[in-house]
Amino acid sequence: MLRIMAIGDVTSPAAALWLSSRLWEVRRQHSIDLLLVNAENAGFIMGPSADSAKRLLEGGADVLTGGNHMLQNFSLHKTLEENPRILRPINYPAAAPGLGYTVVDAKGYRVLVLNALGRVHMDTLTDSPFTAIDAALQREKGRYDVAVLDFHAEATGEKLAIGHHLDGRVAAVFGTHTHVPTADTKILPKGTGYVSDLGMCGADGGIIGMSAESVLHRYLTSLPGKFQAAEGPMYADAVIFTVDEASGSAKAVERIRID
């Protein structure tokens, strides 16, 4: 069995530093064969910095996935072109820098890691994630043993739809973006492990990783203001998918919290 861990959105450079110092121990403690981290906000909202990305990969992450902010950090574009273990959503236009999927080794098996961006209630202009993923699975057919997807999206309904669309064709579909862990860990009818949102990695006590004061200022005044990272004890929300290598199906889906 393959044990694949996925960790929710890293919300700040401080969170990236904290997480990277613990990942190897987390891997040992939970017998993890493949570890995926959504680094969408690791550089504080505007995608990860090159330094944060490097730190997380050296600290124990196998692949970093992204989302709607991933390409807003122009300093990362060169890194995206050079490092296939740092992904941006597959349904960005083809001219965008970087890759939307990669194949990595886990315990001798080829794992196709896909990253896609939802379109419901999102302000990024992208192609259909459904057709982009279908095309990638067809293109890479025979070149991987197991496939997993980080679907960075706002709407739960869209996440569930992509889960059912891919049910039986990928081992796991996990949602990111909302920073709030959902309680719907399950195995879909044809064997795909699923959860609507992993949650986040960052400081406890704020509002989805941001300080309560900076968020409330916007709600109470309707004025623009700069968000500040929350302060407090760090934690990370994660889900572990236990996958049968022979069938490519999930056999267990377990939510954990790292703190």
* Per-residue confidence (pLDDT) for residue 75, from 0 to 100: 83
Cβ–Cβ under 8 Å, residues 114 and 150: yes
Cβ–Cβ under 8 Å, residues 97 and 88: yes
From the CB of residue 189, how many other CB atoms can be counted at a distance below 10 Å? 9
Question: Which amino acid, one-letter code, is at 114?
Answer: L
Pairing between β-strand 2-7 and β-strand 234-244 as defined by DSSP bridges: antiparallel
* Per-residue confidence (pLDDT) for residue 19, from 0 to 100: 97
Q: Tell me the C-alpha distance between 40 and 48, whole Å.
A: 6
Joined together, the tokens standing for residue 119 give 């379109």
CATH topology of domain 2-258: Purple Acid Phosphatase; chain A, domain 2 (3.60.21)
**Confidence check: pLDDT of 23 > 70:** yes
Q: Tell me the C-alpha distance between 78 and 239, whole Å.
A: 30
* Helix 50-59 vs helix 13-20: crossing angle, to nearest 10: 20
- DSSP category for residue 183: S
Quick check: helix, strand or coil at residue 211? coil
* Per-residue confidence (pLDDT) for residue 132, from 0 to 100: 97
Quick check: helix, strand or coil at residue 79? helix
Q: What is the pLDDT of residues 139-162, one digit of tens each?
A: 999 999 999 999 999 999 999 999
* Per-residue confidence (pLDDT) for residue 56, from 0 to 100: 96
Joined together, the tokens standing for residue 67 give 């989302």
Chain centroid to Cα 175, Å, comes to 7
- Concerning whether 69 is annotated as a catalytic residue, the answer is yes
Q: What is the pLDDT of residues 198-249, one digit of tens each?
A: 999 999 888 887 777 877 888 888 888 777 777 889 999 999 999 999 899 9
Q: What is the pLDDT of residues 160-186, one digit of tens each?
A: 999 999 999 999 999 999 999 999 999
Q: How confident is the model at residue 83 (pLDDT cuts 50, 70, 90)?
A: very high
Q: How confident is the model at residue 45 (pLDDT cuts 50, 70, 90)?
A: low
Specify the long-range contacts of residues 96-101, CB closer than 8 Å, at least 24 apart.
Answer: 96/71, 97/71, 98/70, 98/71, 100/132, 100/136, 101/136, 101/140
**Which member of 30, 69, 121, 217 is catalytic?**
69
Q: What is the pLDDT of residues 94-113, one digit of tens each?
A: 899 999 999 999 999 999 99
What is the percentage of the chain residues whose pLDDT exceeds 70? Answer: 99
What is the percentage of the chain residues whose pLDDT exceeds 90? Answer: 75
Per domain, the residue ranges of the chain are: 2-258
CA distances from 182 to 10, 78, 159, 187 (A): 17, 34, 12, 14
Q: Tell me the C-alpha distance between 144 and 75, whole Å.
A: 31
Cβ–Cβ under 8 Å, residues 236 and 12: no
* Per-residue confidence (pLDDT) for residue 22, from 0 to 100: 96
Query: Average of pLDDT values for 107-136?
Result: 94
Rg (CA), the chain: 17
